[in-house]
Amino acid sequence: MDKKKFWAYVAIVVIGVATFVALWNLPVITGIVSGVIALLMPFIVGGAIAFILNMPMSFFERKIFMLEEKIASSGKKKKPQKAKERAKQGGTLERVGALLLSIAIVIAVIFIIIFVVVPEIGRTVKGIIDQVPQIAGKLVEWSEKYIGNGEEIAQWMKGSDIFTKDNLNKAMDYVGTHIGGLWDSTKGIVSGTISVLTNLFIGFIFAIYILLQKEKLGRQGKMILRAFLKEEHCNKLLEILGLTNKVFRSFLTGQVTEAVILGFMFLIVLSIFRIPYALLIAVLVTVTALIPIFGAFIACAVGAFLILFVNPIQAVWFIVIFLILQQVEGQLIYPHVVGKSVGLPAMWVLFAVTVGANLMGLLGMLIFIPLCSVLYVLFRTYVYKKQ
């Protein structure tokens, strides 16, 4: 038997046995994987933060280099390459300046949310609470009209055995038991919040290290791959990683840009038509626009519900305006801003969103579209090569 075939058969048998053992001990394997993920979570978060911050940082870095080259090349025909050469070294002043600008933008967005959006949410809640007496009055009128003065209900309650002493004692015991559970839930929430904040802090520090030395880390990663893989396999893996990086960057930048444009459109149009809660709804539209397919329905439902408390007619007009702006966004904005950066047919977008939501919730809905796009491109390339 050929040696290559022999080892191929051995590999198939080993993989089959390993898969069977893993499925047989699935709870144990799941527990181990969950423990490893929890242990590495700060660094996973740091990698995600670094990936997101790298997009504006790279933009600012290019602008700084261009400005330096223009200043340095004043009166010269040939532009110096010194700034670009320094860009390949981690920890340059340009890199630090670009990173600080990116962090400043993130902090500014957080401050806007805290000092603009949160007070608007407070005013909205207060407005809804102020509407409660009117709603209660309408409910009383409705009950008197369709139920009567309540004599039948009183007779039913009097003859019912629901309010016996034994049942009341059981109800008190139930409340007492769940008060203890409420305390445990509160402790769990506090502990979870502290854990999240800790992971974010460690991840942020880790992200800064990654961004300041990204070229050096990239070179080290390639050296490790070439040490363990053949040149052909190494180049193929690097090609796949490059495609993944390109697709994820295009998807995130396109989605965020499109969401911001859509949010400003809603703010302007709703303000012109004097629709209540224009700012809050515009922010809601901006956030939910990041959620593919289902985000629009969430924003429309919540916005209509809020306006309904103030003026039902305006709620209907809001739905009409929402549908019109969604058509404008879908036909004009999305194709130009996002374009074919994802390159995934609509059917597979729905598939990716559904599977991602079931596996990882909201995060899965965002991740699985570019992930499925990468798999789709690789599979399509493989099929075309076989033709």
- Tokens coding 72: 């340095």
pLDDT (tens digit per residue) in 321-379: 999 998 887 777 766 666 555 667 777 877 888 888 888 887 888 888 888 888 888 88
Burial group, residue 247, by CB count within 10 angstroms (0-12, 13-18, 19+): buried
Sign of CA dihedral 314, 319, 322, 327: negative
Of the two residues 274 and 150, the one the predictor is more confident about is 274
- Tallying the residues shown for the chain, one arrives at 387
Where is average pLDDT lowest: 6-10, 145-149, 353-357?
145-149
d(CA 287, CA 279): 12
Return d(Cα 242, Cα 248) in angstroms, integer. Answer: 10
Percent of the chain with pLDDT over 70: 78
| pLDDT tens-place string over residues 205-234 | 999 999 888 888 888 999 998 898 888 889
